[in-house]
Amino acid sequence: MTLSPYPVIRLLPKVHARAIRHGAPWVFDNELVTDRRTRGLAPGTIAVLEDGDRAPLGLVAVSPTSKIMARMLDRDATARVDQDWHRVRLARAHAMRERIYDTPHYRLIHAEADGLPGIVIDRFGDIAVIQPNAAWAEVVLDDLVAALVEVTGVSTVLKNASGRARVLEGLDEEHAVLVGQAPDGPVAVPMNGAIYMADLMGGQKTGLFFDQRPNHAFAARLAKGARVLDVFSHVGGFALATLAAGAEHALAVDGSEPALTLAAQGAVEMGMQDRFETRKGDAFDVLTALGEEGARFDLVICDPPAFAPNKKSLEAGLRAYERVAKLAAELVAPDGFLGLCSCSHAADLSKFRAACSRGIGRAGRAGPLIHTGYAGPDHPLHPQLAESGYLKALFYRL
């Protein structure tokens, strides 16, 4: 028998391994024997995980200072995490996206759901942007990047080091060009008939949110001849998609001037700048002001940041979603449509829907929920990880 080159960590005797054997991808620090040797492992160390009886459960990536102390990499404890290992996972993810999409613009790797925990890779044609959000991803980055180029043929690979997850893992926030050359400006990304301008080096996350693609498409079906309000618009997500589908006019609201500038550039690329308008400001303030102005829209969509990123912030987050729903519902013209979105995994669908319903009722409005949307298939859901199914989009006719 060949000895594993990896160190061993072990579940506490009282911890049942059933959930892990059935696919749970995370092991928490209170489930493990945390002796001095285990605590002394370097962040990102790959180790063999054993149950309390010393039976191997698989290979894990270890973050000794994180609550999520081990992330499952491979159920085969004899596997070797090298370039070939990454190539197999990347090729499997790539094959699925190529089958689904007729465009080279999509999320290629969605962390645990694609077998690469803590790693996000978005593809923008010939450019790939990696977010290595777990310590082990930094350790294996060279093998990961080499396999990525081999599988996809991209000529440029960028590293985006922003985000709360990297801070929690004790990682730096330095962006880098890993392969090729950085683009000399925003990159044009066609999607749902619109053209989005993505800042891949300095923009939010990897530069564009692919997860809303199917919800943009549904909103576009409601948009012909409509006056549209897109709040928390980022680079014009819903606004540009509705313009492409024949909206009469779209107003994009966001607190970020750079994001709105990119949105306006997208409208110019589409030749629709005369039907597009932006308004910078706090979303709550702008929604209130529009109500005081007597503004009304046929379609209002609000896609805020995560108001409830964890259980601790859940109640405050639900109150914020309720307030958004109230202010937005007041702006919807009779028989118009309201779209409300949440990317907070702590606020599950039922809680989010209840908050939205309360807000709509407080606005003195009523109407059926006509559609519930989720992230696209390039953001697959890990069946044993609720956090991977974070996005909800509710559409009402008021």
Tell me the C-alpha distance between 252 and 276, whole Å: 8
Sheet holding 127-132, edge to edge: 105-110, 119-124, 127-132, 156-159, 176-179
Residue 291 φ/ψ, nearest 5 degrees: -65, -45
Q: Which DSSP state fits 69?
A: E
In the chain the first and final C-alpha atoms are separated, in Å, by 67
Please say whether the beta carbons of 60 and 11 come within 8 A.
no
Please say whether the beta carbons of 256 and 282 come within 8 A.
no
Distances 334 to 209, 219, 363, 395 between C-alpha atoms, Å:
31, 17, 13, 15
Pick the closest to residue 144 from 202, 219, 93 (CA basis).
93
Residues that are catalytic: 343
Q: Tokens 């829907």 appear where? A: 353
